[in-house]
Amino acid sequence: MDLDFSEDEIRRYSRHILLQEVGGIGQAKLKAARVLVIGAGGLGSPLTLYLAAAGIGTIGIVDDDRVELSNLQRQIAHTTGRIGVPKAASAAEAALAINPEVRIEPHTVRLSADNAAGLIARYDIICDGTDNFATRFLVADACVLGRRTLVSAAVLRFDGQLSVFKPHLHEGGPCYRCLYPEPPPDGTVPTCSEAGVLGAVTGVMGTLQATEVLKEVLGVGESLSGRLLIWDALATRFRTVRLRRDPDCALCGQAATIKDLSQHRDVSAPVCAV
Q: Site for Zn ion (CB under 5 A): which residue of 30, 43, 252, 272? A: 252
Asked if 140 interacts with Zn ion (CB under 5 A), we say no
Q: Does 78 bind Zn ion (CB under 5 A)?
A: no
Given the complex with Zn ion, which of 204 and 249 has the nearer CB atom? 249
* Inter-residue contact 229 to 157 (CB < 8 Å): no
Considering only the C-alpha atoms of the chain, give the largest distance between any 2 of them, rounded to a whole number of Å: 55
Strand partners, 61: 37, 106
Nearer Cβ to Zn ion, position 81 or 184? 184
With 0-12 / 13-18 / 19 or more C-beta atoms within 10 angstroms meaning exposed / middle / buried, residue 92 is buried
DSSP string, 33-78: -EEEEE--STTHHHHHHHHHHHT-SEEEEE---B--GGGTTT-TT-
Is 175 a binder of Zn ion (CB under 5 A)? Answer: yes
Closest approach of Cβ 149 to Zn ion, in Å?
A: 14
- Least Å distance between CB 64 and Zn ion? 28
**CB hemisphere CA count around 53 (13 angstroms):** 14
Residue with smaller CB distance to Zn ion, 139 or 175: 175
Count residues near Zn ion (CB under 5 A): 6
Give least dist CB 27 to Zn ion, A: 34
- Per the CB < 8 A criterion, the answer to whether 177 and 249 are in contact is yes
CB nearer to Zn ion: give 206 or 226: 226
Work out whether 269 is an interface residue with Zn ion (CB under 5 A): no
- Considering only residues 232 to 251 of the shown chain, the ones binding Zn ion according to CB under 5 A are 249, 251
CB closest to Zn ion, residue no: 249
- Report, in Å, the least distance between residue 195 CB and Zn ion: 28
H-only helix segments in 170-245? 176-179, 192-195, 199-218
Neighbours of 243 (CB within 10 A): 20
Distance CA 72, CA 86 (A): 14
Closest CB 155 distance from Zn ion, rounded Å: 23
The residue from 178, 197, 201, 224 that contacts Zn ion (CB under 5 A) is 178
Applying CB under 5 A, the span of 48-56, 109-117, 154-162, 171-179 interacting with Zn ion comes to 171-179
- Of 18 and 255, the one with the shorter C-beta distance to Zn ion is 255
Binding segment (CB under 5 A) for Zn ion, from list 56-64, 122-130, 170-178, 186-194: 170-178
Asked if 177 is part of the footprint of Zn ion (rule: CB under 5 A), the reply reads yes
Q: Which amino acid is at 204?
A: V
Stretch that binds Zn ion, among 19-27, 66-74, 154-162, 167-175 (CB under 5 A): 167-175
Which residues are CB-neighbours of 144 under 8 A, at least 6 positions away?
165, 167, 168, 175, 176, 177, 251, 252, 258
Beta carbon nearer to Zn ion, 16 or 177: 177
Q: How far apart are the first and last CA of the chain?
A: 36
Which residues of the chain form contacts with Zn ion (CB under 5 A)?
175, 177-178, 249, 251-252
